[in-house]
Amino acid sequence: MAIVKMSSFSLLAFEAERDNLLHELQKFEYVHFTNLEEEEVLLDESLQPVSIPESVVDVDEEISKVRYSINQLSKYAVKDSGIKSLIEGKDNYTFSQLEEKALSIDYHPTYERIRQIALETDKIEQEILSLTSKKDELANWEGLDYPIGSLEGFIQTEVVMGTIPKKFKDDFNEDLLDLELTYAEIINEDKDGIYLFAITAKEEYSRLYEILRNYGFTTVSLDAQGSPKEEISNIGERLEVLKLEKKKHEDQIRELSSNLAELEIVYEYLMNKKLRTMATENFLKTDSINVIKGYIPTDMEEEFTKVITNTLGSAYYLEIKDADKDDPDVPILLKNSKFTQAFESLTSMYALPRYNEVDPTPFLAPFYLAFFGMMVADAGYGLLMLIGTFIALKFANLTESQEKFIRFFHYLSYSTIAWGLFFGSFLGGIVPLPGVMDPAAQYQDLLIMSIVFGGIHLFFALGIQAYVNIRDKKYLDALFDVGFWYMALMGGIVFLLTMVVELNPVVATIAKWVMIAGMVGIVLTGGREAESVGGKLAAGAYELYGISSYVGDFVSYSRLMALGLSGGFIASAINMMVGMLSNSGIIGILLGVVVFVVGQLFNVFLSFLGAYVHTIRLTYVEFFGKFYEGGGKAFQMFRSSPKYINYK
């Protein structure tokens, strides 16, 4: 249960064997390549970067085609959703099965057909858009009974069509009275303007135009031959035909959606192929030799060597050695028990450990489990979570990440049930349980218990720091940075207890002197890296000032009590409202059921969210702050992360 031990390797292989080598290493998977372009020493040896093969362009083009096809078919494919989708999950493949399946699929006819249908559909949609726009424009002139095509080419008259702002309507009509050889008709009007049709003698056209210009007239030119009503009817008929054609194309795409699963297989294969091709940018080369460096898990050295030998025969040079413990570039891979794996996401969310650190996951897991349950502290809520996660784990085909996430909450459900039974809480007390402690009545005892748990949490974190120092044979650092703090804190706590609890005076004396010895030790050694004596003492005094932060740390654990009480009070309040409603007849009972279900589910959400966030806060700030820095780089598997399948 720790960080996986790593070995670094250096490999020299003929460039002609590179593609075959990368193919076999991708089957092996557990290879993390080092980017040698960052190695200035090697570049100084006249080694050249390996350029990415031009074939990557072809692979990208293939990926683009497959992705396009998947996107088009996904719009019409009938897929299971909700619980059924979760239960069935994604198909499982080994890497070899994926490759074999993908190579047997010729997706090009499907792609070409999809592309042809899509182009035809685009043309139809463009025509529909154009006709709809024209129909909307003609709708404003539907009251005009004249054929549009016959309104042009008059010898003695001019036809005018257009709009003017509605606010000028009355003034415009008044000015038209001065014209004797002009006929004007308002065909339509809306909130913004009026739609005007006018016919005037040529000798009076200039006067009409002057009036129109004064009122912000905008000319409208209709692209039509028949009357607006006839044109609208014709457009409607054409739109119906186009919609039928579009539906026909959609049905054709829907029929092709049966190929979606195969396209997804090809996509996964091509993404891995691209990864192999892009991996070459990490290498350096001479005219015929590739230089490859990276990391593998130490316990896989034999298997890795076997892959190299089977692929390259004897035409290679391979050197494997243990990775430098203090090298910050060593990639991190965690290996933990099934229980601890469920909590690895918490560590990754903060930062992976460096190679010379300890994996904090096994240490944070039991505390997280206990604190989460104490904050929710309701056996009913825990039982709901237990049943839900059990069903998901038992019957659903989950991805690896999904399974870890569900198992995380599955384990937390046990702690939640245990604390709920301890406090005698089941759905806010709707089912009476004989608890060991009543949080509402014994809140002071609960606060003390929370602080005690906080002290255990903090002292355990300091103990991990001491272990790391002792492991690295830094015995004095363990004494100076942990031992003296143990003395100062534990001595101080016991000394303060003697002021409120009657204890033997000898205990108080011993505690006082242990506290003083610890504080003096912190002052004398806390600034040991400073150069001058004054600097050492000043830095040590500042280090001792950090004891005030421990006060804040202890107080932080009061949230264990606060969240547990708040969730319980909210649940109790919901139950009280349900009780009052249930006394109001059948309608009140029905409303009470709704209030109970909705209210309790809402409180479940709040309780789980609050416990999740605040337990993370206690872990990251109070716990990690005492021994853990992080900053490690994740081990990059030589596989593309699957999107549509699961790897066996």
56, 21: one domain: no
38, pLDDT greater than 80: no
Euclidean distance between CA atoms 227 and 631, whole angstroms: 76
20, 74: one domain: no
Mean pLDDT of the chain: 89
Euclidean distance between CA atoms 541 and 521, whole angstroms: 10
85, pLDDT greater than 70: no
374, 441: one domain: yes
Residue 254 in domain: yes
44, 56: one domain: no
pLDDT at 366: 95
CATH number at residue 323: 3.30.70.120
431, 475: one domain: yes
pLDDT at 179: 86
Residue 634 in domain: no
* Interacting residues of 516 by C-beta distance below 8 A, sequence separation 6+: 491
Residue 638 in domain: no
417, 462: one domain: yes
125-160: per-residue pLDDT in tens? 999 999 999 998 888 888 888 888 888 778 888 899
402, 523: one domain: yes
Name the 3-class secondary structure at 157.
strand
590, pLDDT greater than 70: yes
Euclidean distance between CA atoms 124 and 242, whole angstroms: 6
Q: How sure is the predictor about 634, in pLDDT bands with cuts at 50, 70 and 90?
A: very high
1, pLDDT greater than 60: no
259, 396: one domain: no
CA distances from residue 257 to 77, 260, 602 in whole angstroms, order as listed: 5, 5, 40
With tokens 């609208």, the residue in question is 232
Number of domains in the chain: 4
196, pLDDT greater than 60: yes
CA distances from residue 191 to 143, 162, 188, 237 in whole angstroms, order as listed: 17, 16, 11, 29
315-354: per-residue pLDDT in tens? 999 999 999 999 999 999 999 999 999 999 999 999 999 9
- Write the burial class of residue 68 (CB in 10 Å: 0-12 exposed, 13-18 middle, 19+ buried): middle
Strand duo 157-165 + 193-201: pairing? antiparallel
pLDDT at 362: 95
pLDDT at 41: 64
161-180: per-residue pLDDT in tens? 999 998 888 888 888 888 88
Q: Using an 8 Å Cβ cutoff, are 345 and 408 in contact?
A: yes
Residue 182 in domain: yes
Q: How sure is the predictor about 529, in pLDDT bands with cuts at 50, 70 and 90?
A: confident
Q: Which residues of 239-253 are buried (b: 16+ CB within 10 A; e: fewer)?
A: eeebeebbeebeebb
511, 612: one domain: yes
Token code pair at residue 130: 């154009």
Token code pair at residue 336: 């933990």
CA distances from residue 399 to 26, 27, 89, 396 in whole angstroms, order as listed: 20, 20, 8, 9
Residue 533 in domain: yes
Q: Which domain holds residue 72?
A: 51-130+233-276
Residue 348 in domain: no
Q: How sure is the predictor about 80, in pLDDT bands with cuts at 50, 70 and 90?
A: low
Residue 9, strand partner residues: 294, 320
Residue 31 in domain: yes
Task: Give Cα 10 to chain centroid, integer Å.
Answer: 36
Instruction: Find the range with the poorest average confidence among 38-42, 106-110, 411-415.
Output: 38-42
Q: How sure is the predictor about 45, in pLDDT bands with cuts at 50, 70 and 90?
A: low
If we measure between CA atoms, which residue out of 444, 429, 431, 442 comes closest to residue 573? 429
600, 621: one domain: yes
39, 156: one domain: no
CATH number at residue 210: 3.30.70.100
pLDDT at 89: 74
257-291: per-residue pLDDT in tens? 889 999 999 999 999 999 999 999 899 888 889 99
328, 454: one domain: no
Task: Give Cα 191 to chain centroid, integer Å.
Answer: 48
Q: Using an 8 Å Cβ cutoff, are 336 and 359 in contact?
A: yes
pLDDT at 51: 82
Residue 339 in domain: no
pTM of the predicted model as reported, rounded to 2 decimal places: 0.82
86, pLDDT greater than 70: no
